[in-house]
């Protein structure tokens, strides 16, 4: 009887130990199966790359997330800028901040937009995270996209001619833009004479619309290497006989997007005045010189105001000012 009692007393403990061992073993098997059964998540780019160097123009990159098989959980890939000097005006990320694959579906897409940068500034960079630790319903390794944005370089020279000025007449203010119409023309510099400028004029190229300011865009492919002169013609002056003497200088802004933007003030010896008769004289503004893709603006004295290379040649990212 004593021997039987000893075995019986150990039996409950052996039973409990066996249950515990089986429970631990079942848990390990369950966790392993869960990891194995997770779908694999892959992310691709419509360009085939996640490194973008020397981007100058608008670019839309479609990012697509794909699961190897459906799951009963939604899967999100978060996209956000980790670092860099670019901002929201340069790069557009999904408004939600992520790509969302709904439950039981296997793919979804979102776009990253790189905007053309036509401001004269330094190269901008961005490192974009594609996914992070918040993606838990699929097997996935996050990575980064690298973007480098260069200045957009325009082939065109945009010119604005502005002569806006307030003139007081017996206590009332009158605008020169509203009462003086100035036209601007371009001529070959060789043999140019400001006293007879229309002999050298280039037909069909002028800023003579009656607007103030006048705007003009020159496409460089239409202008071979050479030297050209911008000059003014006083088409109409309504100030004659009604006001005191005032000068009406033309301010000209030369801009090549991504290369330079510079204002040229008309030399005092060339400006029209409230006493100038319509169509009586012409005024010199500046000279444009084109040589091997380098475009230079000079004032009436022949001093270089600004110079920049065309995008078809080696780029000059910053203007060279004559100080």
What pLDDT shows up at residue 118?
66
Q: How many CB atoms lie within 10 A of CB 54?
A: 8
Cα 152-304-318 angle, rounded to 5 deg:
25
Confidence label for 59 from pLDDT (cuts 50, 70 and 90): confident
C-alpha 31/C-alpha 86 separation (Å) is: 43
Give the pLDDT band (50/70/90) at residue 253: very high
* Residue 74 clears pLDDT 80, i.e. is over it: yes
* Residue 5 predicted with pLDDT over 80: no
pLDDT recorded at residue 223:
81
Percent of the chain with pLDDT over 70: 82
Confidence (pLDDT) at 36: 58
Q: pLDDT band for position 72 (50/70/90)? A: very high
CA–CA distance from 163 to each of 213, 268, 323 (Å)?
7, 13, 25
- Model pLDDT, residue 170: 87
Q: Which pLDDT score, from 0 to 100, does residue 55 have?
A: 65
pTM: 0.61
Q: By C-alpha distance, which of 305, 322, 166, 171 is closest to 248?
A: 166
Find, among 146, 212, 157, the residue nearest to 186 by Cα: 157
For range 262-287, the mean pLDDT = 92
pLDDT band at 56 (very low <50, low <70, confident <90, very high): low
Instruction: Give the pLDDT band of residue 114 (cuts 50, 70, 90).
Output: confident
- The answer for residues whose C-beta is within 8 angstroms of residue 121's C-beta and 6 or more apart is 151
Average pLDDT over residues 154-169: 90
- For the cut 60, the answer to whether the pLDDT of residue 322 exceeds it is no
* Mean pLDDT taken over the chain: 82
Give the separation between CA 180 and CA 243, rounded to whole angstroms.
13
What does the pLDDT average to over 180-187?
94
Report d(CA 182, CA 233) in Å as an integer: 6
CA 122 to chain centre: 12
Rounded percentage of the chain residues whose pLDDT exceeds 90: 50
Over 60: is that where the pLDDT of 6 sits? no
pLDDT category at 218 given cuts 50, 70, 90 is confident
Range name among 79-83, 280-284, 289-293 with the lowest pLDDT average: 289-293
How confident is the model over 160-176, as a mean pLDDT? 93
Tokens of 19: 């249950």
Report the distance separating Cα 120 and Cα 54, nearest Å.
15
Identify the residue with better confidence: 8 or 189. 189
Binned at pLDDT 50, 70 and 90, residue 116 comes out as: confident
- Domains with residue ranges and CATH for the chain: 41-149 (2.60.40.2030), 156-309 (2.60.60)
Low-confidence winner among 24-38, 137-151, 198-212 (lowest mean pLDDT): 24-38
Instruction: Return the top range by mean pLDDT from 100-104, 166-170, 304-308.
Output: 100-104
- 43's tokens: 């992310």
Q: Report the alpha-carbon distance of residue 99 to residue 299 in Å, rounded.
A: 55
């Amino acid at each position: 009887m004593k021997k039987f009692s000893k075995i019986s007393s150990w039996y409950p403990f052996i039973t409990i130990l066996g249950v515990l061992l089986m429970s631990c073993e079942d848990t390990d098997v369950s966790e392993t199966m869960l990891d194995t059964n997770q779908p694999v998540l892959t992310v691709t780019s419509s360009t085939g790359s996640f490194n973008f160097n020397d981007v100058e123009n608008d670019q839309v990159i479609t990012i697509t997330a794909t699961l190897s098989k459906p799951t009963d959980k939604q899967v999100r890939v978060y996209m956000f800028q980790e670092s860099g000097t670019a901002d929201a005006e340069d790069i557009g990320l999904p408004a939600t901040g992520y790509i969302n694959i709904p439950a039981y579906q296997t793919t979804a897409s979102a776009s990253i937009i790189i905007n053309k940068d036509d401001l004269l500034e330094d190269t901008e960079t961005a490192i974009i995270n594609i996914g992070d630790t918040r993606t838990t319903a699929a097997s996935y390794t996050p990575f980064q996209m690298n973007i480098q944005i260069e200045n957009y370089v325009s082939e065109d020279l945009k010119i604005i001619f502005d002569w806006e000025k307030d003139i007081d007449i017996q206590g009332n203010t009158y605008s020169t833009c509203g009462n003086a119409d100035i036209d601007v023309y371009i001529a070959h510099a060789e043999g140019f004479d400001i006293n007879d400028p229309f002999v050298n004029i280039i037909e069909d190229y002028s800023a003579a619309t009656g607007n103030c300011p006048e705007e003009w865009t020159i496409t460089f492919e239409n202008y071979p290497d050479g030297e050209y002169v911008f000059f003014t013609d006083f088409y109409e002056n309504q100030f004659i006989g009604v006001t005191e003497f005032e000068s009406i200088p033309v301010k000209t802004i030369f801009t090549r997007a991504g290369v330079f933007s510079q204002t040229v003030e008309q030399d005092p010896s060339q400006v029209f005045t409230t006493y100038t008769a319509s169509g009586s004289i012409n005024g010199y503004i500046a000279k444009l010189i084109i040589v091997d893709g380098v475009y230079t603006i000079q004032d009436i004295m022949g001093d270089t105001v600004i110079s920049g290379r065309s995008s078809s040649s080696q780029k000059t990212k910053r203007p060279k000012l004559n100080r």
